[in-house]
Every structure is written in C-alpha cells, then in structure tokens.
C-alpha cells in the first residue's frame, strides 16, 4: 500500500471512530471530569470517596492515557470531534472560494496553552470550597449536550451559550482550540507520564535539511523531540499526522510501530469502546 492510500485509509478509520464515539458516547469527557470533581468535593467534606461509574471512567481514561497517550482526546472526545469538523468545514470553504484560511499565530497559541491549567485549578478550587453549584448554567459543555439532545430551551444557560459560541468561533481559526487551551481534562492528561512505546518523536539525524513538515501538520504545533529523549510533549493527541507526512518515515512512536497503523488505531478504539460500554450500560448509569 503506497503512502497516499495509507493516509486516506487512516483518515477514514479515524473519522469512523470519531463518529461512533460522538453518536454513542458523547459524554465520556464530562463523565470523567465529573469523577474528579466528585472526588475533590468528598475530600473537602472529609467524606469517604465512593467508587461510582464517573470515577471509574476517570481512572480508566488516566490509565489508558498512561499506556497509549492522549488517544482519547484525538479520537473519542466529542468536543475534539466537533473542533475537527468545524475547522475542516472552514478550510473546505476557503478552498472553494480560493481564499487563504486564517489561523491563530503560534506566538499566541504558545501562551494560550497554559489557560487550561488555570481553568482546571479554578474548577477544582470551586469544588473544594463547595461553591461549584454557583456555576450552574455557565458550562458550555452542558449547553452542547442539551443541543445535541435536541433541547433548544437554554433558559438559564446564557453564560454557557456565550462561552460555547466563543469556543466554536475559536475552533474555526485553530485546530483543537478547546482541547489545547481550555479543556480541564486535557490539562490533567497533559501532566500524565506516557509509556515510551507511545511517545511520539523523530530521528533528527535522518531529517532533510530545513524540513519541518511534521510540526506544520501537527494540530498542537509540537516540535518533536529527538528519538530516545526522555522528554515528550503532553500536548500530543496521537493523531498520527506527523508519521503520515514525514517524507523519510522518521516521525512516529518508534522504528517498528509508527502509531498510525490501521490495526493499532482500531485496537485502541475497541479497548475504549469496550470500557465505555461497560461503564455506561453494565453499571446501569447513564453518562
């Protein structure tokens, strides 16, 4: 299979995986963060932590990220899928109109990526102070969930609606706008260590002089580390675009496993689906 066909196959598989999770498990992101919020609230009240479906989702996704990197963010998060769709639609329109698409500069995005840690700290502080209920109606994810369920009555959700609109506008001009800059779960995932076989890097010694194709195509603007380095970016969404674009096959998770193989993508997706199904239906709790 030549490189172009392999790239098209990988894109097709990714789109199908995203569609399945978007339709059947759109609330995995909010369920996982609810687990963390509930845990903080219990700790603040000196109450025992209950292991429920929400906490199970949180624990599993953290373990999954530790083993496979941020595959959940890249393939299974509904907000990430929404961002990909909005950005792709904008780029398609620009292409048809023969207009150069606008994008947020890397100088700005390099600073915005720290905002998600502030969002995480703010939410957790509100939970610890038992004041999170005062934020009712200001969560853009709640508004998105209501709209997706066909509920157009957004009374009491003015702030959340305004934030969702602002996020969608940002998605137009930047890949993974919410995931990179405002997602509290993204902040948690980005701080987790990742096993070496899932870290993405490149063999710089074999790169073409002046080539930066992998960074240009990366939705997180990551400058890949040298293969063998201990450091790696927690911003990587495991999308596989760097491995696909590299003209010398230098970029990827390793020499034998590139990270964008169709079977490997499907394996990780099936594992996620299995646990999502178990937690959602076998625990008799709608997430």
Q: What is the pLDDT, as a whole number, of residue 141?
A: 86
Among 105, 86, 99, 118, residue whose Cα is nearest residue 22 = 86
List beta partners, residue 202: 226, 251
Nearest to 278 by CA among 56, 37, 45: 56
**Cα distances (Å, whole numbers) of residue 228 to 11, 190, 196, 255:** 28, 20, 9, 11
Give pLDDT tens digits for 17-76: 999 999 988 888 888 888 888 899 888 888 888 888 888 889 999 999 999 999 999 999
Name the most confidently modeled range: 10-24, 148-162, 249-263: 10-24
Instruction: Tell me which residue of 177, 223, 225 sits closest to 203, measured CA to CA.
Output: 225
Res 181 pLDDT > 90: yes
148, 24 Cβ separation under 8 angstroms: no
Residue 262 pLDDT greater than 50, yes or no: yes
Neighbours of 233 (CB within 10 A): 18
Percentage of the chain lying above the pLDDT 70 cut: 95
Please state the pTM of the whole predicted model.
0.90
Enter the tokens of residue 23: 């339709």
Q: What's the mean per-residue pLDDT of the chain?
A: 88
Q: What are phi and psi of 76, to 5 degrees?
A: -115, -15
> What mean pLDDT is predicted for residues 142-169?
88
């Amino acid at each position: 299979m030549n490189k172009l066909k392999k790239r098209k196959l990988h894109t097709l598989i990714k789109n199908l995986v995203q569609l399945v999770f978007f339709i059947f498990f759109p609330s995995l992101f909010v369920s996982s963060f609810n687990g963390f919020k509930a845990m903080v609230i219990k700790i603040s009240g000196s109450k025992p932590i209950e292991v429920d479906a929400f906490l199970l989702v949180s624990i599993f996704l953290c373990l999954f990220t530790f083993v496979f990197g941020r595959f959940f963010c890249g393939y299974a998060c509904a907000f990430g899928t929404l961002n990909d769709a909005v950005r792709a639609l904008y780029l398609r329109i620009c292409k048809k109109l023969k207009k150069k698409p606008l994008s947020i500069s890397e100088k700005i995005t390099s600073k915005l990526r720290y905002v998600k840690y502030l969002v995480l700290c703010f939410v957790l502080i509100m939970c610890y102070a038992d004041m999170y209920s005062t934020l009712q109606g200001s969560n853009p994810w709640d508004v998105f969930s209501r709209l997706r369920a066909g509920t157009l009555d957004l009374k009491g959700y003015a702030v959340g609606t305004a934030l969702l609109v602002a996020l969608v506008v940002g998605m137009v001009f930047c890949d993974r706008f919410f995931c990179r800059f405002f997602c509290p779960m993204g902040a948690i995932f980005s701080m987790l260590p990742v096993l070496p076989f899932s870290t993405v890097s490149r063999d710089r010694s074999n790169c073409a002089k002046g080539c930066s194709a992998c960074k240009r195509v990366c939705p997180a603007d990551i400058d890949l580390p040298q293969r063998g380095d201990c450091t790696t970016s927690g911003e990587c969404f495991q999308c596989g675009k760097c491995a696909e674009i590299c003209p010398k096959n230098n970029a990827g998770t390793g020499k034998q496993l590139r990270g964008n193989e169709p079977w490997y993508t499907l394996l990780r997706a099936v594992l996620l689906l299995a646990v999502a199904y178990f937690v959602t239906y076998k625990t008799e709790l709608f997430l």
